[in-house]
């Protein structure tokens, strides 16, 4: 019977080892425990996303710990659905999902963000929701608002959709954190908003 070994990282493909990545991970006290990972593979074996994509969670953690820059530019960190199955099953209680989220944050700061994720940030900045319902207070009902009413809910939820003035607060927060620059978001001018209203 042949024993399967861990995925091998080809040394010829390693272009740069950078302790900056692993150092940034463990700056967060909650992620210090990631050093306890002994590469058992439970995270990869139980990963729902891994059944449908190429994500190998164990490999992401190993590359991050040894400081391979390729982990930041890899598409794999964006394949995680953040379901926390890996954390629930980890025998060492390593918050694997939180490590992947931290890696995404590092990747984003370095300019590695997938276009769909950037698009979600733009939607958030414009509407206050990552997935907007497409309705605004005082506007005609659509299928979402009618469905809400059928369940006895107000047609517009008590969020930014009910308080559109708070969108300016969201954009101010994004601007003060330089997040708007990171994702390339430029708020609409008053003229552009007026033009859209006139087209309706």
Task: Assess whether pLDDT exceeds 90 at residue 67.
Answer: no
- Dump the DSSP string for 45-85: HT-TGGGTS---HHHHHHHHHHTBTHHHH-GGGGS-----H
* Statement: the pTM of the whole predicted model exceeds 0.75: no
Q: What is the pLDDT of residues 100-120, one digit of tens each?
A: 999 998 898 888 888 888 999
- Confidence at 1, pLDDT banded by 50, 70, 90: very low
**Mean pLDDT for the chain overall:** 83
- Tell me, rounded to whole angstroms, the distance of Cα 170 from its chain centroid: 18
Q: What is the pLDDT of residues 162-178, one digit of tens each?
A: 788 898 999 999 999 99
Task: Assess whether pLDDT exceeds 80 at residue 4.
Answer: no
């Amino acid at each position: 019977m042949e024993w399967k070994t861990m995925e091998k990282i080809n040394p010829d493909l390693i272009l740069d080892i950078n302790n900056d990545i692993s150092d940034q991970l463990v700056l967060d006290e909650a992620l210090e425990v990631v050093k306890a990972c002994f590469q058992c593979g439970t995270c990869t074996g139980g990963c729902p996303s891994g059944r449908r994509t190429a994500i190998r969670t164990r490999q992401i953690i190993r590359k991050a710990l040894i400081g391979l820059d390729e982990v930041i530019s890899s598409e794999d960190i964006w394949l995680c659905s953040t379901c926390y199955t890996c954390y629930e099953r980890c025998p060492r209680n390593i918050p694997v999902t939180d490590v992947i989220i931290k890696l995404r944050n590092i990747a984003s700061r370095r300019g590695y963000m997938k276009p769909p994720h950037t698009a979600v940030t733009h939607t958030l900045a414009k509407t206050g929701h990552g997935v907007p319902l497409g309705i605004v207070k005082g506007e005609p009902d659509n299928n979402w608002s009618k469905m809400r009413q059928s369940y006895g809910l107000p047609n517009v939820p008590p969020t930014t959709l009910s308080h559109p003035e708070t969108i300016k607060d969201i954009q101010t927060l994004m601007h003060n954190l330089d997040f708007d620059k990171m994702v390339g978001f430029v708020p609409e001018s008053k003229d552009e908003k007026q033009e859209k209203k006139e087209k309706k």
